[in-house]
Amino acid sequence: MAFLTSFIIEPTGDPIIDVLVDGYVWDLSESSTITWALADGLNADDVWEDRAAATQTFAAALASFEQFIDVEFEYLGDFSNPDIAGQAGADIVYTLDNADLGDGTLAYAYYPGPEPFTQFEQYATEGGDVFLNFSSEIIATSSFGLGSDGFYTVIHELGHALGLKHPFDGSPGRPTLDELDQTLVQDLDWFTIMSYSDQYEDDLERLDPATPMVLDVLGLQYLYGVNTTTFAGDTNHVLTTEDFYYAIWDASGSDRVDVSAQSQGWTVFMPDFAASPLVDTLAGFALPSSQFNDTLVASAPTEMVWLMGDLENATGTRFDDWINGNRYANDLRGGGGNDELEGFAGNDTIDGNEGLDLAYFEGEQSSFTVTIATGEITVQDRRADGAGTDTLRNVEVIEFYTDATRETLDLQEFGGPAGLTAAEHESFIELYVAYFNRAPDAIGLNFWGTAFSGGTSLEEMAALFIDQPETRETYSEGLSNEGFATAVYDNVLGRVPDQAGFDFWLNALNSGGVGRDTFILGVLEGAKAAPGPDATPEFIAQQLADREFLASKTDIGALYAVHRGMSDPDDARAVMELFTGSESSLTAAVSAVESLYSEALDPATGAFLMPLVGVLDNPFDAIA
C-alpha cells in the first residue's frame, strides 16, 4: 500500500485559498516525504518511448513544486502498472495510458488518497495518481520542454494530485475564480496552472507556465507549509528572456532581482501584496514593460515572472524601466534608460544611474523633507505610516502624488548647490537680504545655487533679482536714487548711510555709472572688503559693525532656508523684520524660526522642507 493517507479540510472562508483548494490533502504529520513512481498504463502494452526522458520530465515537474512547499518528493522507481507501483509504496504515480476517452482529454489525475475514499474507480491506491493520455496528439507529440502544453499538462495534473481544483469549478463554500474581483485576478493560466484558459492556445511549445503560478503557490503553501530552504541565503536572481511564465520563491536573505541582461525595458513590482491572510507570502511580478497594460488583468504577456517571498532589491536594464519596491529596505538601481522608481515603505536607496530618472513618493509634498547633501539627496516622509527615509543618487526628478494631486521637484533646477562653498551660499543669502529684505526661501535659494553651479554669475543673478516683483515691492519704481540708496543701507547694514559713502554712490547712480543692481552688489561687497591703508579708526569700527549686522542677517537667513529648509516668503520676511541689530532681537528672530520649524514638521498640517547639509555651519546650534 502507499505510505501516505489523506484527509479533508473544510472551506477556510478565504476566497483566494478556497478558489483552488478542494479540501483533499496529503497527511504529512508523520513525514514531509511524498514518494512517486513511473508506470506503464493498466494495459500492459502501454510503454514510454523514452523512459529516461519521461523520468526527467516528471522529476522537473515535481521539483517545480518542491521549491515552494515543505514537501520532499522521493523517486521510488519504474513499474509495469500504477497498481503495482502503489502496492510498492508510491503515493503519486505518473502513468502513460492510451485510452481513447472520446472527449479530447489530455490527462486526468486523482486527488490525494486513498482515505477518505471508500469507492475506487480502478484500484485501491489510485489517490494522487496521474494519467497522461497517449491518444492525445499534444501528449504524443509534445517536447515537454518548459512552457510547452505538454509540460503544462504535467504540472496541472500534479496540482490535482496535491489537492488543487479547477478555478472554474465551484462547490459549497468554494467559489470559482470568475466570482472573485476580476480587477485583480482572472481565470488565466498565468494566474494559476489549474486554469484551462490560455491567451496563446495556438502556440503549443511556448507561452505556458513552467512552474505553479501565484494562486497555486498560495494554495499549496496553505496546505503544506513553505519551503524555508529555497534561496535562503543572499541571492541574485538574474531574469533572462524566456517564452514562458514562472514563479520565484525566495525564503530569506538579502536578495536582488536583476533584469540588466534584458533587451528591452522591464516593469518590476517587488513582492508586497498579501493576497491571503492565511499565508504570509507576499507577491509581486516582473515582465517586459511593453507587455504591461497598466494592470495585470489587462495585459497579455508572453513572458512573466511572479516574485514571491523575501525579495528586497532590484536592478534595471539599460532601457527605460519602472521599478517598484516594497515594505522592506530596498536598494533599487536603474540602468542606462530614463527610469521611474519608487521605494514605497522602508528606508530605501534609489539610484537612477544614467538617463533622466524619476523617483515617486506617494503623499502630499507638504509631508516630506528633502535634504540635499554632496553626492546624494534624502527624502523623508514625516508621516508615521509613510514611506520612511529614502536616499537618492543620480535621480533628476522627484514627484509627489496623491489621487488628486501631482507635484514635481526638478532636481536639475533645485538640487545642485551642495558642491558650492560656504562663502558662495552666503552671497546668495545676502542677495535676498538686500533685494527682498527677507530671509531666502529654501526652494528659491536652491534654484539660484543650482544656477550658479551651472555657470550663472553673481552679477547675472543680481541683474535678474532687480527685476523681481519682490524687489519692485521693496524698492518701488518711483523711488528716487536718494531714497533707493537709503533703503538699501537700511536693509543691508541697518543704518543710515555715512555722508561720504552716500555721496559716492548717489553720484554713480545719478550719472548712470552703475545700475541699481550693481549698486546693491557694491554695498554688499563694500561691507566685507578689507579697509584701505588710510582708513580711520572710526571707519574701521563702522565697517566691523556693518559686517556683524549683515552676518547676523545672513545667519538668520541661513537658519531659515538652509538649516531648516523652509520656503514660505511671508514667514521669511516676518522673521527678518524681528532683527534690528540688538542681541535680543537676534534671539527673537531665531526663536521665531524655530517655532515656525516646529509647526512645519507636522506631517499633516506642516510644510515641505528642503534643508541643505554639509555646506554651512549653524551658529545657533549651541542656542538650540
Are residues 474 and 335 part of one domain? Answer: no
Q: Which residues contact 480 (CB under 8 A, 6 or more apart)?
A: none
- Residues 594 and 498 occupy one common structural domain: yes
268 and 301 together in one domain: yes
384: Cβ–Cβ under 8 A, 6 or more apart, which residues? Answer: 603
Q: What is the pTM of this model?
A: 0.90
**Of 199, 210, 180, residue with least CA distance to 275:** 180
Distance separating alpha carbons of residues 486 and 476, to the nearest angstrom:
13
Q: How far apart are CA 395 and CA 359, in angstroms?
A: 7
Q: What is the CATH number of the domain that holds 169?
A: 3.40.390.10
Which regions in the chain score pLDDT beneath 70? 1-2, 44-46, 98-103, 115-118, 622-624
Whether residues 37 and 90 share a domain: the answer is yes
For residues 324 and 330, what is the distance between their CA atoms, to the nearest angstrom?
9
Place of cell 543701507: 489
* Gap between the Cα atoms of 576 and 557, Å rounded: 8
> Which residues contact residue 517 at a Cβ distance below 8 angstroms, ignoring those fewer than 6 apart?
459, 462, 463, 465, 466
Q: Is residue 617 part of a domain?
A: no
Residue 290 lies in a domain: yes
Name the phi and psi angles at 493, rounded to 5. Answer: -115, -10
Check whether residue 14 and residue 149 sit in a common domain: yes
By the 8 A CB rule, do 440 and 572 touch? yes
**Do both 515 and 427 map to the same domain?**
yes
DSSP code of 289? G
User: Do 63 and 138 belong to one domain?
Assistant: yes
On whether the CB atoms of residues 34 and 74 are closer than 8 A, the answer is yes
Q: Tell me the per-residue pLDDT of 460-472, one tens digit each, with 9 for 90 and over.
A: 888 888 888 888 8
Burial tier of 207 (Cβ tally within 10 Å: 0-12, 13-18, 19+): buried
Last residue of a domain, one of 115, 149, 176: 176
DSSP H/E element including 24: strand 24-26
332: nearest Cα among 353, 349, 357: 349
Length of the chain: 624
In a domain, 72, yes or no: yes
Which pLDDT value is given to residue 466?
Answer: 84
Beta bridge partners of 25: 7
Specify the CATH number for the domain of residue 336: 2.150.10.10
User: Same structural domain for residues 373 and 509?
Assistant: no
What is the tally of structural domains in the chain?
3
Do 134 and 259 reside in the same domain of the chain?
Answer: no
The answer to whether residue 621 sits within a structural domain is no
Q: Determine, yes or no, domain membership for 196.
A: no
Q: Which of 161, 176, 191 is the last residue of a domain?
A: 176
pLDDT of residue 1: 47
Q: What is the pLDDT of residue 41?
A: 86
In whole angstroms, what is the distance from residue 437 CA to residue 487 CA? 10
What pLDDT does 89 receive?
95
> What does the pLDDT look like over 111-154, one tens digit per residue?
998 766 667 788 889 999 999 988 788 888 899 999 999 999 99
Which among 213, 103, 104 has a CA at the least distance from the CA of 155? 213
Asked whether residue 594 is assigned to any structural domain, the reply reads yes
Same domain, 160 and 235: no
Angle at 285 between CA 283 and CA 291, to 5 degrees: 150
Do 254 and 332 lie in one domain? The reply is yes
Q: 153, 176, 199: which is the final residue of a domain?
A: 176
Q: Is there a single domain that holds both residue 279 and residue 250?
A: yes
In a domain, 27, yes or no: yes
The pLDDT score that the predictor gives to residue 100 is 63
- 40 is a domain residue: yes
302: domain range?
228-414
